Chain A
Amino acid sequence: MNSASRRLRLFFLAPAWVVTVLFFLVPMGIVGYYSILTRGPYGGQALPLTAESYSRFVDPLYGEILLRSFWIAGETTLLSLVLGFPLAWFLARSGPRRGLYLQLVMLPFWTSMLIRIYAWVFLLRETGPINAALVAVGLIAQPLPLLYNHAAVLLGLVSISLPLAVLPMYSTLERLDYSLVEAAADLGARPWETIWRVVLPVSAPGLRAAAFLTFIPSLGTFLVSDLLGGGSTILIGNLVQNQFTTARDWPFGAAASLVLMAIVLGGLLVSLRRDEDLL
Chain B
Amino acid sequence: MTEILALRGVSKVFPTHTAVDSVHLSVPAGEFHALVGPSGCGKTTTLRMVAGFETPTSGEVLLEGKNVAALAPYERNVSTVFQSYALFPHLSVLENVEFGLKRKGLNGKARPLAQEALRMVQLEEKANRKPAQLSGGEKQRAALARSLVLSPAVLLLDEPLSALDPNLRKQVRAELKALQKRVGITFLMVTHDQEEALTLATRITIMNKGRIEQTGTPDEVYLRPATPFVAQFLGHVNWIGGVGLRPEATHLWTESYAALPSGVASRPARVKQSLFLGNCIQVEAELESGESFLAEVSRFNGTFRSGDGVRVWWRREDELRFP
Q: Which residues of A contact B (CB under 8 A)?
A: 177, 179-180, 182-190, 193, 197-198, 201-202, 204
28 contacts between A and B (CB under 8 A): A177-B86, A179-B83, A180-B86, A182-B51, A182-B53, A182-B86, A183-B80, A183-B86, A183-B87, A183-B88, A184-B88, A184-B99, A186-B51, A186-B52, A186-B78, A186-B79, A187-B99, A187-B100, A187-B147, A188-B100, A188-B104, A189-B99, A189-B103, A193-B103, A198-B88, A201-B88, A201-B90, A202-B89
Please determine whether A185 and B72 come into contact, CB atoms closer than 8 angstroms. Answer: yes
Please determine whether A187 and B146 come into contact, CB atoms closer than 8 angstroms. Answer: yes
B225 CB to closest chain A CB (Å) equals 34
Let me know if B74 is at the binding interface, CB within 8 A. Answer: yes
Let me know if B73 is at the binding interface, CB within 8 A. Answer: yes
- Tell me which of B80, B89, B90 has the highest count of chain A C-beta atoms within 10 A of its own C-beta: B90
- Tell me which of A186, A188, A193 has the highest count of chain B C-beta atoms within 10 A of its own C-beta: A186
Residues of A within 8 A of B78 (CB): 186
Also in contact, A185 and B88, with CB within 8 A (given A179-B82, A193-B103)? no
Q: Which of B74, B87, B146 contacts A190 (CB 8 A)?
A: B74
Residues of A within 8 A of B5 (CB): none
Q: Which of A180, A188, A201 contacts B103 (CB 8 A)?
A: A188
B147 CB to closest chain A CB (Å) equals 8
Interface string of B262-280 (1 = CB under 8 A from A): 0000000000000000000
Interface string of B60-102 (1 = CB under 8 A from A): 0000000000001110001110111011111000000001100
- Total number of B residues with any Cβ neighbor in A under 8 Å: 24
A175 CB to closest chain B CB (Å) equals 12
Let me know if B281 is at the binding interface, CB within 8 A. Answer: no
Residues of B within 8 A of A193 (CB): 103
Given contacts A182-B53, A183-B87, 14 further A-B contacts (CB under 8 A): A177-B84, A182-B80, A184-B88, A184-B99, A186-B78, A186-B80, A187-B79, A188-B74, A188-B104, A189-B74, A193-B103, A197-B99, A202-B90, A204-B90
A264 CB to closest chain B CB (Å) equals 27
A186 to B147, CA, bound (A): 9
Interface of A is mostly: helix
Let me know if B150 is at the binding interface, CB within 8 A. Answer: yes
- Across the A-B interface, the 10 shortest Cβ-Cβ residue pairs: A187-B100, A188-B103, A183-B86, A179-B86, A185-B73, A201-B90, A186-B80, A188-B74, A179-B82, A186-B73
Nearest neighbor of A187 in chain B, beta-carbon distance = B100
A274 CB to closest chain B CB (Å) equals 14
Residues of B within 8 A of A186 (CB): 51-53, 73-74, 78-80, 147
B105 CB to closest chain A CB (Å) equals 9
Residues of B within 8 A of A197 (CB): 99
- Tell me which of B51, B74, B79 has the highest count of chain A C-beta atoms within 10 A of its own C-beta: B74
A267 to B147, CA, bound (A): 41
A279 CB to closest chain B CB (Å) equals 9
Residues of B within 8 A of A202 (CB): 88-90
A193 to B73, CA, bound (A): 13
A146 to B266, CA, bound (A): 98
A189 to B96, CA, bound (A): 13
Please determine whether B84 and A179 come into contact, CB atoms closer than 8 angstroms. Answer: yes
- Tell me which of B83, B99, B147 has the highest count of chain A C-beta atoms within 10 A of its own C-beta: B99
Residues of B17-65 contacting chain A, CB below 8 A: 51-53
Nearest neighbor of B146 in chain A, beta-carbon distance = A187
Residues of A within 8 A of B87 (CB): 183
Residues of B within 8 A of A184 (CB): 88, 99
A201 to B79, CA, bound (A): 23
A193 to B79, CA, bound (A): 17
Please determine whether A182 and B89 come into contact, CB atoms closer than 8 angstroms. Answer: no
Residues of A within 8 A of B79 (CB): 186-187
